[in-house]
Structure 1
Amino acid sequence: MKKLLILLTLWGLLFADTEFAEPKPSIDNPRLIVFPITQGDDESINHVLSSANNVMKFYGPENVQIAIICYSKGIRTLLKKEKKIAVRVRSLQTYDVEFIACGNTMRTLKIKPEDLIEDVEIVTAGIVELVERDLKGWIYIRP
């Protein structure tokens, strides 16, 4: 009996739908989501990039705005020389995902703007950018 109950519960979850909060996401009211990348290992970087991709797939690129802010060791995400990661970044950029580099990190690590992938925005401080986005209603996700 217990196994049947578990199977029925799992079956129900398989077809469960997400109930959207009001107002529902739309072109005029997109979900605003910001992700930080602070770790420089492949697993951490790819986890955030995949999470951003999954959010975009779920809502649809026209119903979500995503910003990914890279600072500390996470700045590696935005370096041209990191070819495999750069391909993923450029792919997300085609869907208007913003990539933002921390100027303080760049200065500390002696990274020049020309070392970064094209169309990456540079801000003074990545952590401050996270705070300001939060105050503007962006949802902060730390996968």
Structure 2
Amino acid sequence: MKLNLWRSLSAISLLVAIFGVGPVVAEPLDKVPEASAGLFHPARITKVPEAPEDKPFAEHFIVFHISSGDAFAQKLVLNNAQNLANFYGPDKVVIEVVAYGPGLRTLFEENAYSKRIQRMAKEGITFTACANTMKAMGRDQPSLNKVAKVVPGGVVRLTELQEAGWTYIRP
């Protein structure tokens, strides 16, 4: 196999030497094309996220998403978020967990991890719930964990945080 490869490369080198075929170079453009109108949303996008007032020294901005109703998946997201908070320290990282679809069950008041989520929120981790999913499930704000914040759409929230420079993690 190596011998065949070597022979092929030798043959190509010989042809280039005989016929003087040089490298292929693209001609420079006379005019640089402009970006399509409406393609980007520069008013919403920032290269580096801005630290919130309560965490002015934050260097890392992480968003997790949970869309699974599976207890193991919920535990994995919570473990990952907690591990990041422990590693960087509460002043250096901003963490948000966005729940939508079946993953909204993570933020139900009756969820097995309810007390853990409340403790994590006290440590500075934010938990947001998708209003679209709440409506589809027939749930209202009082049925959620008391630390959950409601956003119009979970996917919209993920999109906007990523556009603002946040690191997206889906365990």
Does 2:153 align with 1:125?
yes
Aligned to 2:121: 93
Does 2:96 align with 1:67?
yes
Does 2:130 align with 1:78?
no
| Moved beyond 6 Å, runs of 4+ | none
Deviation at 1:78, TM superposition (A): 0.5
Aligned to 1:57: 86
Aligned to 2:77: 48
Q: Looking at CA atoms only, which structure, 1 or 2, has the larger radius of gyration?
A: 2
Deviation at 1:28, TM superposition (A): 2.0
Q: Deviations over 1:52-92 (max 9, x none)?
A: 0111111011110000000000000111112x210111111
* TM-score, normalised via structure 2 length: 0.66
Q: Which runs of 5+ in 1 are unaligned?
A: 1-25
CA distance in 1, matches of 2:110, 2:83: 26
Task: State the secondary structure of the residue aligned to 2:147.
Answer: coil
Deviation at 1:27, TM superposition (A): 4.8
Task: State the secondary structure of the residue aligned to 1:61.
Answer: coil
Does 2:140 align with 1:112?
yes
Q: Percent identity, please.
A: 34
**Is the contact made by 2:127 and 2:149 (CA closer than 8 Å) also made in structure 1?**
yes
Over aligned residue pairs, what C-alpha RMSD do you find? 1.2
